[in-house]
Chains A and B, each alone.
Chain A
Amino acid sequence: MARRWTNDLSRRDVTPKPVFMNRRTLLASGGALAAGAAWPAQASAEALDPNTWDEITSYNNFYEFGTGKTDPKENAGQLTTTPWSVEIDGMVDKPGSYAFEDILSQMDIEERIYRLRCVEAWSMVIPWQGFELADLIAMAGPKPDATHVAFQTLMRPEEMPGQNYPILDWPYVEGLRMDEAMHPLTIMATGLYDKPLPNQNGAPMRLVVPWKYGFKSIKSIVRITLTDSQPPTTWNLSGPQEYGFYANVNPNVDHPRWSQATERRIGGGLFSSRVDTQLFNGYDEVAALYEGMDLETNY
């Protein structure tokens, strides 16, 4: 069932120099570039070359390994990810513990090059490999009255030193509405640049919801539960005024402590310009999910 969505960004393993030199100018000329349709595919692809492996794997928010941006890379090496299984339970016909390899063998792995917009107003472009969450949910047989999906990260303080400090309410939990979870853009990522997902990026399997702030894309998932009510989410519990359940990227709704109107693309160096943030991170195809909803109150 996969491949319901086509990349509008492209990957080139080697960035030709002129494109590289132009990137800042292109980005500076407006975030609208990536909106796709209005631009030739080539133009948006040039403007949004993926970030490098090094950038993607050395600048992470993964508080289980520390609150500094480089802590995850430094501390995540000790995490054991084999064996790994995911408990799928709640309102499904086939609840149970699913081994990670079994899941992989049944899923159609494809590449998705997505923009990632962090709630801290920085962004990257990341070439993920993974499968659509919809396929995994279908495998477990969702009951028709399930309305939400809840996710949980591994809880293992011996290997995740950050969990020894009560900075967040561990284990990390997240959630989506059923229609968000079933949207073809929503994937479970298992790889990066054609390599298995590094631990600091959420190995072996993490959610990626590209139109929402990064903290929604929960990492190192061990449990997926279908429910009929909105599940609790970690950052919302930590700061309900600052982080809502929806957390859709929205330049018009500021975080109480900083503006969300612009973002800084990682990789531009010390003098990189801010670029305008786009509603739904530029993924206009999800707008219909929120028809008639007040995005100001449902932040």
Chain B
Amino acid sequence: MSRTQRVNAAIRKVPSWLIYFACALLPLWYFYLALTGGLGVEPINGLELALGDLAMKALVLVLAITPFRKWTGLNLVPHRRAIGVIAFFYVLCHLLTWAVLDVQSPARMWADIVKRPYITIGMAAFVLLLPVAITSNNLSIRRLGPMRWRRLHMLTYVICALGAVHYVMVQKVWEIEPLVYLAIVLGLLATRIPSIRREFAG
């Protein structure tokens, strides 16, 4: 067995529940930090930003798995579902922080969703994530059939792009880091163009 094959075999052996468990602890850890002063003197915004960063990183990782396998041979595909569901969980925590701790009222939430373009875009990403997350199981693949399921999950591409645009727009000036994320997302999406073409070539 080559080294890559051995690594891939090891990766495959990691149980999914362990990944779910370990990744789900991170927001709890941040919550603990926010409660105890570890996220600075303004923990609400600190938590919101920390969770937004986590969500963005998880989404980039999801997008990177296929090209990564192509380029390096490393195969994270067995855990793609877990990482995707975790990304959804991070976005959910980020959204809940915003709703419950930050804006604090349904009226203000609604006002922001309709009036603030970066919130509108973040919310659009979240809404699109819902059907993708809900159908991240074998039963849904069977029910929908592989083709419809595959196409539904291509929404991930749109979600990641919206997430990165949201990140760029949140800033008061053109900051480098969000632009780097946006560039990475667009680069990873560019690798999908051939497969998207094939999918919809009829």
Residues on A lying within 8 angstroms of B by beta carbon are 54-55, 58-59, 63, 67, 69-70, 120, 122, 165, 167-168, 238-239, 254, 257-259, 262, 264, 266-267, 269-274
Contacts and interface: CB of A to CB of B under 8 A. Distances in A.
A63 B173 contact: yes
Most A C-beta atoms less than 10 A away, residue of B44, B115, B116? B44
Contact of A264 (B35, B42, B47, B112): B42
Most A C-beta atoms less than 10 A away, residue of B42, B47, B111, B112? B42
Most A C-beta atoms less than 10 A away, residue of B108, B118, B173? B173
Interface string B22-65: 00000000000011000011111101000000000000000000
Nearest to A120: B172
A196 to B, nearest CB: 21
Given A122-B42, A259-B111, A269-B43, 18 more contacts: A54-B41, A58-B40, A58-B41, A59-B41, A59-B42, A69-B42, A70-B40, A168-B173, A258-B116, A259-B108, A259-B112, A264-B42, A266-B41, A267-B41, A269-B35, A270-B35, A271-B101, A274-B104
30 contacts: A54-B41, A55-B41, A58-B40, A58-B41, A59-B41, A59-B42, A63-B173, A67-B171, A67-B173, A69-B40, A69-B42, A70-B40, A122-B45, A165-B176, A167-B173, A167-B174, A168-B173, A239-B172, A257-B117, A257-B118, A259-B115, A266-B41, A266-B42, A269-B35, A270-B44, A270-B47, A271-B101, A272-B44, A273-B104, A274-B103
A264 B40 contact: no
Interface size class of B (residues with CB under 8 A): 20 to 34
B179 to A, nearest CB: 11
B199 interface: no
Given A67-B175, A258-B116, A264-B42, A270 B34 contact: yes
Contacts of B174: 167
Given A55-B41, A58-B41, A271-B101, A167 B108 contact: no
Interface of B: 34-35, 40-45, 47, 101, 103-104, 108, 111-112, 115-118, 169, 171-176
Contacts of B41: 54-55, 58-59, 266-267
Q: Give the secondary structure class of A's interface.
A: loop
A269 B38 CA distance: 11
A271 B35 CA distance: 9
A261 to B, nearest CB: 8
A55 B103 CA distance: 22
Contacts of B172: 67, 120, 239
A59 B39 CA distance: 11
Contacts of A239: 172
A271 B115 CA distance: 25
Nearest to B105: A274
Contacts of B47: 270
A270 B46 CA distance: 9
Contacts of B116: 257-258
A264 B108 CA distance: 14
Contact of B112 (A55, A167, A258, A270): A258
A273 B104 CA distance: 8
Contacts of A262: 108
